[in-house]
Amino acid sequence: MQFSAQQIADMLQGIIEGNSLVTVSTLSRIEEGKPGSLSFLANPLYTQYLYTTQASIVIINKDFEVKEKVAATLIRVDNAQTAFAKLLELYNQIKLNKTGIATNAHIELTATIGNNVYVGPFAYIGENVKIGNAVKIYPQVYIGDNCVIGDNTTLFAGVKVYSETQIGKNCIIHSGTVIGSDGFRFDPQNEGNEKIAQIGNVVIEDDVEIGANCAIDRATLGSTVLRKGVKFDNLIHIAHNVEVGEHTYIAAHGVIAGSTKVGKNCMFSGQVGLVGHLQIADNTIITAQSGISKSITKPGEVYMGSPAFDANKYRKAYIHFRNLEQLVQRVAALEKSK
């Protein structure tokens, strides 16, 4: 799809300098600009590329002073980075604006499908499933019996949603993620470590985004819950009966063990692990590769290390740890001098 400089300027309420009829059909970084592409300049470190880029249109700030000849058509806006982000979102909406049901998708007769829905090839929708309006179900998605999918939710290719799962509105679930798989529960007291049946479900509230190849286990009883606005990176495992509070962010390789309750507005960096049955207070920040073995009860604290404790104390302790060899040598020298 092509857009002219004039159309882009109208969308951004910008001012054109150059050919208003020039068209673009793709986006590019300014240092890699090619004819027919749209780029932007916001960071002063990239100013040099404005004069050499082959991009057809470049978005710049209104107060930017051009000091050399520029081949591209310029569109001046209040904030180039914000304007370009807006265009990225519009471009993404257009690119992902799919509708229609593929002839080789399978939808059980008891399922209910809303308006303007997209169901891709080889997708499966089970018995008594309820699909809202403007939902997008990409190829090879599996949705088990009795699931509910809210309006404007997108399930990318290969997502697997086990039975009884409830997913809210405006959610995004990326490829390879499995929602509702069995919790990891076995009875070691019985011969053969018999599996304990997992008969609960997963509840995902509105505006949640889950990255690729995550696993969200169903509850043993009750629900595993992701509250409104939760955002997950790729490769995250959430165990049975976990609850993650509103607007909590978890980076890649995060693991939360069974029945732990995480508060709202928390931020966990990569490779953070939490043992089971903990309570994590609101606004908690946990740095990368930390291991949490005890509940955090005071809101707004920062934790670091494994086992993790207060980040300021950890940094001070780490200074001593790095000097441990020298301390040992000093102690040994003192003992020899006696």
Domains delineated in the chain: 3-95 (3.40.1390.10), 101-315 (2.160.10.10)
Helices marked H in the chain: 5-12, 47-50, 80-95, 311-322, 324-337
Interior angle at CA 244, CA 243 and CA 247, nearest 5:
155
R_g of the chain, CA atoms, integer Å: 26
CA proximity to 237, closest of 213, 267, 221, 259: 213
Instruction: Record the pTM.
Output: 0.84
pLDDT score at 190: 67
- Beta-sheet pairing, 308-310 with 302-305: antiparallel
pLDDT score at 192: 65
Tell me the average confidence (pLDDT) per consecutive run of 10 residues in the chain, 338 residues long.
92 95 94 96 95 97 95 97 90 85 97 97 98 97 98 98 98 98 84 83 98 97 98 98 98 97 98 97 97 96 91 82 84 82
Interior angle at CA 229, CA 224 and CA 233, nearest 5:
80
Q: Which residues pair with 154 in a beta bridge?
A: 136, 172
Rounded to whole angstroms, what are the CA distances from 273 to 71, 150, 257, 279, 306?
52, 30, 8, 14, 9
| The token pair that represents 48 in the structure block | 């040099």
- Which phi and psi (to 5°) does residue 320 adopt? -65, -40
Q: 80-95 and 5-12 are packed helices; what angle lies between their axes, rounded to 10 degrees?
A: 110
Q: What string of DSSP letters covers 117-157?
A: -EE-TT-EE-TT-EE-TT-EE-TT-EE-TT-EE-TT-EE-T
Rounded to whole angstroms, what are the CA distances from 184 to 145, 165, 197, 200?
22, 18, 10, 13
CA proximity to 57, closest of 77, 34, 86: 34
Give the SS3 label for residue 14: coil
- The Cα 94–Cα 137 span in angstroms is 16
pLDDT score at 94: 80
CA 264 to chain centre: 16
Give Cβ neighbours of residue 296 (< 8 Å, ≥ 6 apart). Answer: 278, 279, 280, 281, 284, 303
Instruction: Find out whether 140 and 158 touch, Cβ atoms under 8 Å.
Output: yes
- The Cα 206–Cα 179 span in angstroms is 15
pLDDT score at 250: 98
pLDDT score at 195: 86
DSSP state of 52: T
- The Cα 182–Cα 197 span in angstroms is 8
Point out the residues that are catalytic. 240
- The Cα 108–Cα 306 span in angstroms is 49
Q: 311-322 and 324-337 are packed helices; what angle lies between their axes, rounded to 10 degrees?
A: 50
pLDDT score at 329: 87
